[in-house]
């Protein structure tokens, strides 16, 4: 295969134009290209409104690749260097079936690797299956009646299921391509294999996670829902079992992929003196704008045949960093609490991203020295305080909200302007200075006008802030060694909840590497 990079086409191009541009760059007839596959697709909007779609492609050609490359003189073409990740295979034997705790991305892919290795893993998930979970989440959005076992945080697929399903990551790892292939096999669209910013969408993820579960089961694995780990059983410095609400399980190999919201599990681990440490994380708000405003700001026009535009903004202040995270084009702000009497916001969007609003987390970086509580769980306790304060302020699961204009003016909002908040079961208009810590409000006040200069319309007076966004990442890290084990032998902390990942793909990578380490120990 010959790999050609930086093929630039207008937004309204078709597949034939891509093929013939590749042929032109190689100085051959289009008929000599026997096959073309897209390696990467991105959007270059630096010269608005002349927006371009940029491709890297691999082509199979009729004739000698070396001769074609030499005669073309194209500096953007070369013989493709293709590498593949191969899951470990071998004759592995384990005294007892390995157990994976948590069925989010880390636990799911750890379980898949162990099942492919023939170890028949048992996977425990405190929440319910995706379909039941979807129904209960929809009920909560409509009525404000929360189920603490099935919600945006807990259940099949983990917190990532009710998100935009973003699969881009800053991590460079050979396992990424394989992970994306498994998503496609489970029902995701093929464009996630090459889009620079791939996403699945909540509506599609609900099917994908169920198909991944069925595959694990077909390979000999087992998934037990509504099964919560309540204690760890040990003997002579080694794990020997798990206590659950469904009974004890004897095991000596456990991958702990609990997610960032399993606070009762963090408390149990701390009581059992499993080594942990507080880690930096971030809290703030969700900010919403009209998607058409973001499209115009990013593309120079809201009418181009392009996907809804996204953004990623950051501002470094004297003592904090304010940045956007988990941006959801055409999405909605969601009620993401997993505990009674607390309010948490998050964002999600469906595959088509066809909602009226754009939204993103707008976060302020926080370090352990900032926490008002001491100890390993200091950040978690601060999260809980803020979530409870928001609930007490509104008196229900409706979230506190304020327009950006009113927030900067220091006055309470009384209603929406051009941007209607998408949060369900609804919002209570207020002054967020009464809800958020001064450290966060001060940083947001300083950063918002500066971010508006970076992206016109991002922080317009009509944009809506909904609070609080508290669970962008885990506030603790469960310590592990180079062998990926805790000091408690046989316990493998993994994923976002353990403090080693920050999204679906990075969590999946960490889960895979935990499974590989477990296999290596055998």
- Tell me what pLDDT residue 291 has: 97
Residue 98 sits at the vertex; the CA angle it makes with 96 and 102, to the nearest 5 degrees, is: 145
Q: Tokens for 60?
A: 């199979």
Q: What interhelical angle do 378-394 and 263-271 show, nearest 10?
A: 150
When computed from its CA atoms, the radius of gyration of the chain, rounded to whole angstroms, is: 24
Q: Which of 335, 338, 334 is nearest to 347 (CA)?
A: 334
Taking the C-alpha atoms of residue 344 and residue 400, their distance in angstroms, rounded to an integer, is 10
Looking at residue 174, what DSSP letter applies? T
Within a 13 Å sphere around the CA of 61, how many CA atoms are in the beta-carbon half? 29
- Tell me what pLDDT residue 83 has: 86
Say how many Å lie between the first and final Cα of the chain, rounded.
Answer: 39
Taking the C-alpha atoms of residue 512 and residue 300, their distance in angstroms, rounded to an integer, is 42
Q: Which of 82, 34, 27, 28 is nearest to 56 (CA)?
A: 82
Cis peptide, bond prior to residue 49, ω within 30 of zero? yes
- Tell me what pLDDT residue 171 has: 79
Alpha-helical runs (H) found in 349-461: 378-394, 404-409, 438-454
Taking the C-alpha atoms of residue 31 and residue 85, their distance in angstroms, rounded to an integer, is 33
DSSP 17-42: HHHHHHHHHHTS-GGGEEEEEEEEEE
Taking the C-alpha atoms of residue 54 and residue 266, their distance in angstroms, rounded to an integer, is 45
- Tell me what pLDDT residue 102 has: 97
> Which string of b and e fits 37-64 if b means at least 16 CB within 10 Å?
ebbebebebeeeeebbbebbbbbebeee
- Tell me what pLDDT residue 172 has: 83
Looking at residue 497, what DSSP letter applies? T
Q: What interhelical angle do 202-218 and 105-116 show, nearest 10?
A: 30
Provide the pairing of β-strand 122-124 with 222-224: parallel
Taking the C-alpha atoms of residue 221 and residue 341, their distance in angstroms, rounded to an integer, is 36
Return the residue matching tokens 């007076």.
Answer: 461
Taking the C-alpha atoms of residue 33 and residue 83, their distance in angstroms, rounded to an integer, is 22
CA distances from 350 to 104, 164, 328 (A): 19, 7, 9
Backbone phi, then psi, for 479, in 5-degree steps?
-70, 145
Partners of 4 in the β-ladder: 57, 77
Query: Mean pLDDT in each 10-residue stretch from start to end of the chain (522 residues)?
Result: 97 94 96 95 94 97 95 96 89 91 97 96 97 96 94 94 83 92 96 94 94 98 98 96 98 96 97 97 98 96 92 96 96 97 96 95 97 97 98 98 98 97 97 98 98 97 98 96 97 96 94 97 93
Cis peptide, bond prior to residue 18, ω within 30 of zero? no
CA distances from 257 to 2, 342, 505 (A): 40, 24, 14
DSSP 223-262: EESS--EEEEEEETTEEEEEEETTEEEE-S-EEE---TT-
pTM for this model (two decimals): 0.95
Q: How many Cβ atoms are within 10 Å of 305's Cβ, its own excluded? A: 9
């Amino acid at each position: 295969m010959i790999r050609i990079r930086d093929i630039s086409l207008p937004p309204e191009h078709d597949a034939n134009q891509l093929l013939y541009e590749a042929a032109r760059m190689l100085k051959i007839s289009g008929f000599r290209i026997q096959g073309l596959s897209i390696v990467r697709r991105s959007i270059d909007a630096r010269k608005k409104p002349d927006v371009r779609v940029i491709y890297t492609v691999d082509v199979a050609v009729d004739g000698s690749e070396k001769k074609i490359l030499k005669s073309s003189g194209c500096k953007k073409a070369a013989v493709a260097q293709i590498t593949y990740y191969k899951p470990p295979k071998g004759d592995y034997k384990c005294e007892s079936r390995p157990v994976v705790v948590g069925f989010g991305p880390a636990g799911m892919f750890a379980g898949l690797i162990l099942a492919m290795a023939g170890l028949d893993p048992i996977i425990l998930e405190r929440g319910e299956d995706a379909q039941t979970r979807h129904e209960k989440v929809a009920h909560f959005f409509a009525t404000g009646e929360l189920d603490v076992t099935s919600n945006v945080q807990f259940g099949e697929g983990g917190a990532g299921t009710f998100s935009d399903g973003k699969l881009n990551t800053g991590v460079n790892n050979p396992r990424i391509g394989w992970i994306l292939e498994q998503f496609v096999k489970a029902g995701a669209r093929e464009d996630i294999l090459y889009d620079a910013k791939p996403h699945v969408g909540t509506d599609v993820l609900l099917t994908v996670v169920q198909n991944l579960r069925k595959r694990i089961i077909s390979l000999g694995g087992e998934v037990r829902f509504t099964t919560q780990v309540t204690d760890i059983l040990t003997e002579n410095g080694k794990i020997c079992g798990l206590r659950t609400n469904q009974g004890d399980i004897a095991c000596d190999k456990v991958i702990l992929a609990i997610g960032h919201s399993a606070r009762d599990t963090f408390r149990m681990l701390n009581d059992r003196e499993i080594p942990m440490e507080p880690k930096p994380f971030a809290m703030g708000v969700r900010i919403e704008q009209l998607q058409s405003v973001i499209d115009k700001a990013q593309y120079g026009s809201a009418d181009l045949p392009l996907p809804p535009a996204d953004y990623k903004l950051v501002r470094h202040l004297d003592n904090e960093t304010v940045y956007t995270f988990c941006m959801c084009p055409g999405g909605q702000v969601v009620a993401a609490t997993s505990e009674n009497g607390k309010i948490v916001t998050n964002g999600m969007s469906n595959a088509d991203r066809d909602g009226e609003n754009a939204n993103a987390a707008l976060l302020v970086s926080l370090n352990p020295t900032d926490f008002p509580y001491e100890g390993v769980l200091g950040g978690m306790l601060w999260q809980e305080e803020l979530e409870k304060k928001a609930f007490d302020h509104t008196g229900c699961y409706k979230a506190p909200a304020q327009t950006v204009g009113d927030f900067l003016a220091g006055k309470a909002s009384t209603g929406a302007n051009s941007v209607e908040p998408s949060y369900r079961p609804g919002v209570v208009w207020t002054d967020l200075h009464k809800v958020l810590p001064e450290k966060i409000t001060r940083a947001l006040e300083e950063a918002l006008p500066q971010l508006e200069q970076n992206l016109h319309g991002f922080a317009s007076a009509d944009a809506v802030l909904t609070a609080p966004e508290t669970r962008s990442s885990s506030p603790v890290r469960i310590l592990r060694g180079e062998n990926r084990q805790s000091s408690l032998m046989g316990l493998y902390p993994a994923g976002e909840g353990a403090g080693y990942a920050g999204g679906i793909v990075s969590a999946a990578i960490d889960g895979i590497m935990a499974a590989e380490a477990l296999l290596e120990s055998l």
